[in-house]
Structure formats: structure tokens, C-alpha cells
Amino acid sequence: MGFIARTQMRGTKARIAVAGAVVAVAATAWGVTALVDPGHDTNHQNVSRQTEDPAKGGDAEPQAPGKPGGQVPDGIAHASESGGNTVNITIDDGPDPQWTPKVLDVLKKYDVKAVFCMIGPQAKDHPDLVKKVVAGGHRLCDHTMDHNTGMDKKPFPYQQQQILDAKKQIEDAAGGGAKVEYYRAPGGAFTPESRALAAANGMRPLGWNIDTKDFSKPGVAAIVGTVKAEIGNGPTILFHDGGGDRTQSVEALDQVLAWLKEQGRPTGFPVVTGPSA
């Protein structure tokens, strides 16, 4: 066989190998595998342990295909649908029968809509609260089954189970055809595969720009101070209505929303189909 022919054959084999790898990645993203590796970690960490800088609201990795037709990108969203100086309020780790109603009352007081990132079993146990969130005009977000902040270290089948099972439990609890529009990885433990899986199932990966640290109960003044100091980082703010005593969270949310109103900062929802930054 001549040199040119051998070279062409090697090139053909290389192209076949690359194509096979792409198919394998796509199959993984669409959930072909089925093994599950259980695990749980309730520590709350920062937005993403990928190469993204949450303060800049960027997504440093190339976007993989999302939902058929590309309706939902898999880049981690931070921007507001309304643009400008609009702020997004996001609430994690509920629903909780003690704290979610109090958070809803504060939001209603200021006529603010928020995204509630719910734990699957919590939603299943409290469908009345999920329905109340939806009835209030708020949006739903998948925050997995077990809030394992080490998800990015787990095999993809485990991530798949955590994400899709929670999505089903939240939507079943909401009823009425309500949809989960976002996916937020616990502690920001996104992976390219989990992002692609979320997008393929109609959920935009959701990050944050301002971590209020309310989860650690540093005091109302500290929580509010963090928001004021970091408001320049970007529009999406993280609060909690679950995971423990949220007395400080509720009071701080009230003060933050009052301050945002004084500043003339409207509130809205994170983008679903728009750019991440």
C-alpha cells in the first residue's frame, strides 16, 4: 500500500474514532447508562467548581447540545431575562413547612417573584407548598434528591438519578402541568454531562453571583451587608428557605428587598433561553 493510501486510511480511522467518541458522549448526556452510586453531603459551597467565574457570570466551557432544537442552552445562567439592572432572587433547599410560607410572605410584601430550587423529597412531602409557590407566580428549580455537594465527583448515572428523580417529584407535587425550568447543582457541583442532561430535559443550569452565606447564619446584618457589597458581581442572589433555622434568612430577605426597592432595582427571573452572562 502506498504512502498516500496509508495516510488516508489512518485519517479515516481517526475520523471514525472521533465520531464514536461524540456518539458516546451524547448517549451519556441523554441518560443511556443506569448504575447508581449513592452519596450525600450537606455542606454548601460556592457556585461552580468548573472553570467558571461566578462573579463574572461567565461560562468558560463550550456549550454542548441541550434540548432538541436548542431551546435550552446548557451554559450556566446568571443573567436576568429583563436585562438592565434587574436582580434575580433565588431560594434554595426547601420547601420547608416553617420557612417557605414566611419567605413567600416577604416576597408578596414587595411584589417580587423568585426561583425556588427544591429538594425532591421535600417537594414530595410538602406538595401544598409547591403548589403555593407556583400559584404565587414563582418558578421551580431542580436542586436534586439529596443535596450532595460532591456530585461532580460521582459517576454520571448517579447524577442522572439525582436530577431526573427530583424533577419528577417536584413536578408531580406541583401538579397542573407545572414545569421545572432550572437545574441548580448543590454547591455548584456542575459537570458538563449534568448540564447537558438538564438542558436536554428542559432545565437551564442556574448559577448565582451573590452567595449571601445565610446558610451559615452569620447574622442578619452580615447577610444584608454581603448583598450590598457584592451587588456589582451580577444579578442573581442566593438565599435559603430550607436546611435549618432560616430566621435570619427571612429577616435579611425583607431588608434586602426593601433596599433594592430604594435603589430602584427591579426583580425578575434568570434567563432560560438567553445568554448566561
Strands 139-142 and 236-240: unpaired
Rounded distance, CA 231 to CA 97, Å?
30
Burial class of residue 2, CB neighbours in 10 A (0-12, 13-18, 19+) = exposed
8 Å CB contact between 114 and 90: yes
Whether 125 is catalytic is no
Question: H/E element holding 94?
Answer: strand 87-94
210-211 and 236-240 beta bridge pairing: parallel
Cα–Cα distance measured from residue 253 to residue 109, given in angstroms and rounded to the nearest whole number: 11
Candidate list 78, 138, 143, 240, residue with the active-site label: 240
The catalytic residue among 92, 165, 211, 254 is: 92
Contact 148, 154 (CB under 8 A): yes
Active site (annotated) includes residue 138: no
The catalytic residues are 92, 240
